[in-house]
Structure 1
Amino acid sequence: MSNTRKRVAEDAAPSKKKHKKRKANFQENDALDAELGINTLFGRMDSQLLADHLAQKLTRFGSDLSPVEISDLTISANSIQDTTSWQEPRTLDKLPDFLEKFSEDPESLVKAPKKHGSPHTLIVAGAGLRAADIVRAVRKFQGKDNLVTKLFAKHMKIEEQVKLLKGKKTGIGVGTPARLIELIENGALSLDNLQRLVVDASHIDQKKRGVMDMKDTMMPLARFLSRKEFTQRYVDEAKPVALLFY
């Protein structure tokens, strides 16, 4: 190849990369429904695509981590339940229906395990305000002996949450990764009866950012989802935990 042709080829390569990047950004931006406040891509991603998406975000935001550390935070495709059969918009008002659809026994959602502070469902959000909205959305499952519990920093001190979990039965807990980790590690939040982890993935804020679009929310989420208590059970047939992205 002549020097001139070689230079032309080299100049064209970055251009192709930029074109691909622009195309990817366009496709992602096109999926953002500002009116509904959701990223519609999550409704079209199967388990493998979700795993790839998580891996891309880890690579982007975990640039200060070693390959081994990144590997430890990676979630495999077979750990994620495919929810592409859900055809409704992944908006807050549809969340209860989504939970019922992907529960083997929908009626069990209104019941709490006998053990205090041991929910069957944990819903993970990126921020306290959003978690508070989710609590209100799933309150239809709450009953006299079945609390929908606020497990995030806003509104409640951790001491209050510890007391609540130790003294009450709860079927559904809604929280942020950091506070959930703290409650697990201090023993107040039991995972013995956990059946499903639901990530509030589709929601976008006014700046069109979701929980995986910011380092401050993506990395705590990755550390939470990749805890051994969960990863061992994502693929455990005897006592599984379903990992769902809403």
Structure 2
Amino acid sequence: MAPHTAEADDLDDGLEYKVEISEDEGALIDSTNEENEKDQEDATTITPENPKKRKSESSLNFKEKKKMKMELDTEQKKNISTESNTEVITDFINSKINRKNSNLSALELSELYFTKDAIRSTSEYSKPRTLDNLSDYITQRFKNMLPGKESKKNKKTKKKGSKGKEEESESAPAEDRKFIAIVSMSAIRACDIHRATKDLNGSSIKLINKNKLDVDLKILKTTRSRILCCTPGRLQKILINDDPVLTKDEIKIIIVDNSYLDQKKQNIWDIKETVEVLKSLTKDGSKIYLY
């Protein structure tokens, strides 16, 4: 048998062997390595998006979020009137005050905030909060504050005059002056409230800026009605007038026309004067009911 001839691959002599590569083979290897490195970079590098596309998507997301926020706010405005927990109602009102007065300090805001003691729930009234049901709600909840039917006209009494002749005079109403103020966000809405409540005992009167102030003051001096259909601004002007025909302590109940929303989905709490005048009334004992 012929002796086995050792080959280079079989040697294990601990020596390093220099392998020479031709220029063509080296170029091929370098090219392959560059392509591999480029592929790795492409795999890990994120291609920048189109700035216009990114801005457009961001704008769309903002509009969607704004729309969702408006829808949520609208639902809260509609449903808060039926809330049974006065703390939830108070938090809703105070959050509106906070957003409207972001420039005020915490101390200043605290002067505007309402307490839960000033709020009364109307959740026991299960009917829809519409104009058609407003008189029914007032009759059910505040019938004791309305003048009696027998008192619709002031009674005529006779007394002797300075010359000994009998003269007729009108006697003052027997009822105490305790008023229910229904505050609405606009004069037009206050007129709608008046039409919806004028058939109640004693009827109702409307107090709006379109009326002459002296006419409203004259009516308040002689009216037997206990329902005031007003805007916050007009009510405020009457209360601070030099001729005190209506005092804060005479307004025992404030019914806030809360469920009504205008075309911009705003309600009574979006009116600046609302918080100011209602806060001053609650300090004198008035209670707020959301309708």
Q: TM-score range by the shorter chain?
A: 0.7 to 0.9
- Conserved 8 A contact 1:118-1:189: no
Q: 1:43: how far off?
A: 1.8
Instruction: Give the corresponding residue for 1:61.
Output: 100
Q: Could you tell me which amino acid in structure 1 is paired with residue 219 of structure 2?
A: L
- The one-letter amino acid of 1:77's match is K
Is 1:74 matched up with 2:146? no
Tell me, yes or no, if structure 1 residue 151 matches structure 2 residue 196: no
The structural deviation recorded for 1:45 is: 5.5
Deviation readout 1:99-122 (Å, 9 max, x if unpaired): 12322xx25424489389944211
The question of 1:245 aligning with 2:290 is answered yes
Alignment map for 1:1-246 (pairs within 5 Å): 25-29=70-74, 31=75, 39-44=78-83, 46-103=85-142, 106-111=143-148, 114=173, 118-142=177-201, 146-154=202-210, 156-186=211-241, 187-212=244-269, 214=270, 217=271, 219-227=272-280, 229-233=281-285, 241-246=286-291
**CA distance in 1: counterparts of 2:289 and 2:126, whole angstroms:** 15
Structure 2: where are the runs of 5+ without partners? 1-61, 152-171
RMSD of aligned C-alpha atoms?
2.9
Q: In structure 1, list runs of 5 or more residues that go unmatched.
A: 1-17, 33-37, 234-240
Alpha-carbon deviation of 1:150? Answer: 1.2
Number of aligned residue pairs: 205
> Is the contact between residue 255 and residue 290 of structure 2 (CA under 8 Å) also seen in structure 1?
yes
Instruction: Flag the 1:83–1:96 CA change in 2: closer, same or farther, 3 A.
Output: same
Change over 3 Å in CA distance of 1:115–1:231 after alignment to 2: farther
Question: CA offsets per residue over residues 138-193 of structure 1, 9 Å max, x none?
Answer: 11115xxx351211112x11111112112333311111111111111121223444
Greater RCO, CA 8 A, separation 6+? 1
1:99 and 1:185 map into 2 onto residues whose CA distance is 27
Q: Provide closer, same or farther for how the CA distance between residues 132 and 101 of structure 1 changes in structure 2, counting only shifts above 3 A.
A: same
| Residue type of the alignment partner of 1:231 | K
Task: Give the match for residue 237 of structure 1.
Answer: none
Instruction: Check conservation: 2:181, 2:228, Cα contact below 8 A.
Output: yes
Q: Is the 8 A contact 2:205 2:225 kept in 1?
A: yes
TM-score (norm 1): 0.72
Residue 115 of structure 1 contacts residue 169 of structure 1 at CA under 8 Å; is this kept in 2? no
- TM normalised by structure 2 equals 0.62
Q: Secondary structure at the match of 2:204?
A: strand
Larger radius of gyration: 2
